[in-house]
Structure 1
């Protein structure tokens, strides 16, 4: 079955969506990642998102730090215990196993990768490669290209890895065929932006006329523009989208929400 074959449909032209990424959970809720209790940060972000009247949440990958199935169960438990009531969609990061993400899917945690509303579509791409760096397979690139041309609706694209360098340490693990993906998106003529995680901070770039945005982590941030891997506890963060899609135009406003740890 293809990656985009089971769309989730909203009967509306306006969406409020949150993008949260890189929670790096452990089996033990008390464990820390670079001195940060990642479960506590994730709970804070979930609680804040629950106040935003959201239509949906997109989780951008790197659920787990210790690669245990118990960390996936903790992710599910924290979502279901939160006040969040909207569906939570996901895509895999380099730390994740798609099979484990699928095992916790059902009900509120939804495995759809193609989100469709009136005049707007969101595509969740699999950029997980054989190494910590990202890679979008040739077959998946074909799927993406096919999905882009199936309608003239504006599209928003989500993936885990950064497709452009950020002049930082994690460029060694960026999306290795990022330009190939970006050219497909730009050439389609109906993509309004690409959004990713992985880099643990906020960035805004452009490729040709396409905007490329990084969403900070819910766990810990990495110092920007540093050749060294330096961690900063800036509190949890996520990105909000306010989408108003009409036949004549599509307005996509986005902002990063920073919460004090």
Structure 2
């Protein structure tokens, strides 16, 4: 099945979305990543999201830190035991395996990669490459191009890796063909924004007029604008999006929600 064949439809012209990313879970619920209990942080963020009128949650990748299947099962447990009632979609991060993500899909966790509402569509892109850096394959770029032109609806894009440098340590693991992807998106004339994770902090960038937003991690943040790897426990965080389709225009408003540890 082609990447975008699995679709999910909302019969509405506005969407409220929570973008949560980089949970870095372990098999052990008490596991710590840079002295942060990642499961507790993720659970706290999910509880906060559950109190909001969200239409869906999009998980931005790097579910696991220890690469165990038990960490995927913990992710599923935390999602399905939470008070969240909407679907939770996902994109793979560099730590993740598609086979494992598909195995835990079901219940609240939905594997659709093409989300369609009235006047707007969400495309969830696979940026996982053969190394920790990102890479969108040529075949996937063709799929993206075809999906962009198949309807006049404005598109909002989600992927894991940062397509542009952020002037930090993680630039060594950015999306290596990011500019190629971004040029395809801009040239289609119907993409309103791109959202990604991976960099463990919030950033706002622009490429030929296309807004690009990085969401901070639910686990631990990486200090901005330093060539060294520095981390900081700033508490779990996620990003809220409000997308409204109005005639020929799509309005995307977004803000980061910080939950102090």
TM-score exceeds 0.5: yes
Determine the structure 1 residue equivalent to 2:150.
150
- Alignment of 1:104 with 2:115, yes or no, is no
Runs of 4+ in 1 over 2 A off after TM superposition: none
Determine the structure 1 residue equivalent to 2:161.
161
Kept after mapping to 1: 8 A contact 2:80/2:107: no
- Alignment of 1:134 with 2:112, yes or no, is no
* 1:110 counterpart SS class: coil
- Find the aligned partners of 2:248 and 2:212 in 1 and give their Cα distance: 23
RMSD over aligned Cα atoms: 0.5
- 1:249 Cα deviation (Å)? 2.1
Gaps of 5+ in 2: none
Alignment: residue pair count: 261
Determine the structure 1 residue equivalent to 2:45.
45
- Find the aligned partners of 1:85 and 1:35 in 2 and give their Cα distance: 31
- Find the aligned partners of 1:155 and 1:23 in 2 and give their Cα distance: 26
Deviations 1:106-137 (A, max 9, x none): 12100000000000000000000000000000
- Alignment of 1:29 with 2:56, yes or no, is no
- 1:198 Cα deviation (Å)? 0.2
Q: TM-score, normalised by structure 1?
A: 0.99
- Find the aligned partners of 2:116 and 2:168 in 1 and give their Cα distance: 35
* 2:89 counterpart SS class: strand
- Alignment of 1:197 with 2:188, yes or no, is no
- Find the aligned partners of 1:38 and 1:257 in 2 and give their Cα distance: 17
Deviations 1:21-49 (A, max 9, x none): 00000000001000000000000000000
- Find the aligned partners of 1:164 and 1:116 in 2 and give their Cα distance: 27
Determine the structure 2 residue equivalent to 1:67.
67
- Find the aligned partners of 2:85 and 2:166 in 1 and give their Cα distance: 35
- 1:156 Cα deviation (Å)? 0.3
- Find the aligned partners of 1:250 and 1:95 in 2 and give their Cα distance: 33
- Find the aligned partners of 2:248 and 2:104 in 1 and give their Cα distance: 39
- Find the aligned partners of 1:248 and 1:140 in 2 and give their Cα distance: 27
- Alignment of 1:121 with 2:125, yes or no, is no
Gaps of 5+ in 1: none
- Find the aligned partners of 1:228 and 1:80 in 2 and give their Cα distance: 37
* 1:175 counterpart SS class: coil
